[in-house]
Copies of this chain bind each other. A is one copy, B any other.
Amino acid sequence: MPELVLLNNLWILVAALLVFSMTVAVGLLEVGELGTSVYRSLLKTLLMSGLAVVVMAIVGFNLGFAPTWDGLIGNPVYAQGFFLGGFSSNYAGTFGTEWWSMGPSYFNTGLYPGTYFLFETAFASVTLALVGVVVLRKVKLTSFAVYSVAYFLFIWTIPAAWIWNPTGWLAKLGMVDFAGGLVVHGAAGAAGLGILVQIWREERARGLRASPPIPPRPKPGWLVLSILLLWLGWFGFNPGSVLQFNSEVVVVVLTTFIAAATGMVSFLSVQFFRHRKFADLTSGVNGTLMGLIVITPLAGFVSPASALILGAVCGPLFAFAEGRFVRLKWISDPVGLLPGHLVGGLFGVLMIPFFAQTIFATGSGYPGLPNGLFFGGGAAAVHQLGIEALGIVAVLAFVFTVSFLVMAVIAKLSDGITTTQISAARLERYANEGNDSYAMTAPSISNVSPPGR
């Protein structure tokens, strides 16, 4: 029915637009948590939005979403997606018909290639924005721009081809990841970790004993604006992942909003009991984000009441994870990519075999997903758990390795990816005086020793 096809396309375009705004929102999140010293985060995220559109339009979309070669990677020159149809004068066959995987043989939602392109490109962009929260002032913008192109070519697209492309090898095994607990959040964590390793290699070579932390300097206005944009963005992110408009979209709105709200209340409560006073805005923001992250991979598979439970777990989970990662002195992750997105995303994926209910998954386009263990899934749920774990291992290993290698190559070609070329003598001075303006923002600078001693 043409009206339903048009309605689906309108809905997914609007959802894509909301997701598109999340990339810049992550830049505002960095500024909101760390202050004006990271203003270049804003150029970084704007540039990412642009590179995502350009690279995905030329060939990236095909690499992720065209029919795959052996389930491993999409056909880069698939006609409908290569340069988004180029100058094709076959309008009806190129622009006026659905993308192959949106046809009756697969998801059957009637989305046009351009609609699906914009939605997935917005996802690719915001995933890189999450990765990028670890580069801050440390990594050269040129290095990160080159990395971004590689990221949109194969670091983001290949896991998408494995899981979200219906011909991907993990998808064929039965792996599900509704809106990207692994493809987005987990993978962002792994990619960020790959970059952090390269940063640390360079910092250690300069004689640092710990990665100089960047202290929180909240700018409440930008912080609340970023969480508002992210929350609104998630309205496109999760409900849009149904890839059509039906009654399940409404349920996904509920699971998403309830997990966000419960995550916020849960983490604020944890902070209240830990510190005996009302927490700050940053805690409210982090709790909300944790709720949104955890629900992402299963928002389309669970009931609103399950979302309430999953949100309630987020407070203790984030508090615990943050406490663990902060001990790793070679990592500077002030915005919380690892305790938030990596831990939260993987936790959510692993909850699928516990909380899923087939009746909800059916409306999301996954009628084959078995009930979870809490809903009588039994052996089928355990089998599902194994598949999800396999997918996690495969994707994390791939993304971490490639992300690190790409940055290592860039470092080799351009004399390192980090900007602060601090001399040994200057480091000595830092350690003695401690009143340099950089040192002022990096209290642990006394961990520094000159190289070679």
- Which residues of A pack against B, CB within 8 Å? 1-4, 6-7, 9-11, 13-14, 17, 20-21, 24, 27-28, 31, 36, 39-40, 42-43, 45-47, 49-54, 57-58, 83-89, 91, 95-96, 112, 114-115, 117-118, 140-142, 145, 219-225, 227-228, 231-232, 235, 239, 245-251, 253-254, 257-258, 260-262, 264-265, 268, 278, 280-281, 284-285, 288, 303-306, 308, 357, 359-360, 363, 375
Contacts and interface: CB of A to CB of B under 8 A. Distances in A.
Contacts of A114: 250-251, 253-254, 304
8 contacts: A10-B245, A46-B227, A50-B260, A87-B305, A114-B250, A114-B254, A140-B278, A141-B278
Given A53-B258, A261-B49, A6 B245 contact: yes
A83 B250 contact: no
Contact of A117 (B4, B58, B254): B254
A288 B225 CA distance: 22
A305 B6 contact: no
A188 B28 CA distance: 31
* Ranked 10 nearest A-B pairs via Cβ: A53-B261, A114-B250, A50-B261, A84-B304, A50-B264, A42-B224, A91-B359, A39-B220, A43-B281, A3-B3
Contact of A31 (B4, B47, B221, B280): B221
Nearest to A43: B281
B54 A265 contact: yes
A128 to B, nearest CB: 14
**How many copies of this chain are found per oligomer?**
3
B247 A96 contact: yes
A119 B209 CA distance: 53
B254 A86 contact: no
A305 B86 contact: yes
Given A6-B245, A50-B260, A42 B223 contact: yes
Contacts of A303: 85-88
Given A7-B10, A31-B221, 13 more contacts: A28-B224, A46-B227, A50-B260, A50-B261, A53-B262, A54-B258, A57-B308, A83-B304, A86-B305, A87-B303, A95-B247, A115-B250, A219-B221
Nearest to A1: B3
A53 B40 CA distance: 35
A277 to B, nearest CB: 9
Nearest to A14: B14
A452 B20 CA distance: 57
A46 B305 contact: no
A238 to B, nearest CB: 13
Contacts of A235: 17
A260 B46 CA distance: 11
A375 to B, nearest CB: 7
Contact of A6 (B4, B87, B88, B363): B4
Contact of A95 (B10, B85, B250): B250
Contact of A118 (B2, B9, B253, B306): B253
A53 B258 CA distance: 6
Task: Name the residue among A24, A95, A140, A249 with the largest chain B CB count within 10 angstroms.
Answer: A95
A357 to B, nearest CB: 7
A231 B50 CA distance: 11
Nearest to A45: B224
A288 B50 contact: yes
Nearest to A98: B247
B57 A258 contact: yes
Contacts of A84: 254, 258, 304-305
A124 B420 CA distance: 49
A163 to B, nearest CB: 25
A285 to B, nearest CB: 7
A375 B87 contact: yes
Given A220-B42, A265-B51, A306 B17 contact: no
A292 B114 CA distance: 18
Given A3-B3, A224-B42, A303-B88, A13 B253 contact: yes
Given A304-B84, A305-B83, A9 B250 contact: yes
A53 B257 contact: yes
Contact of A21 (B88, B228, B249, B280): B228
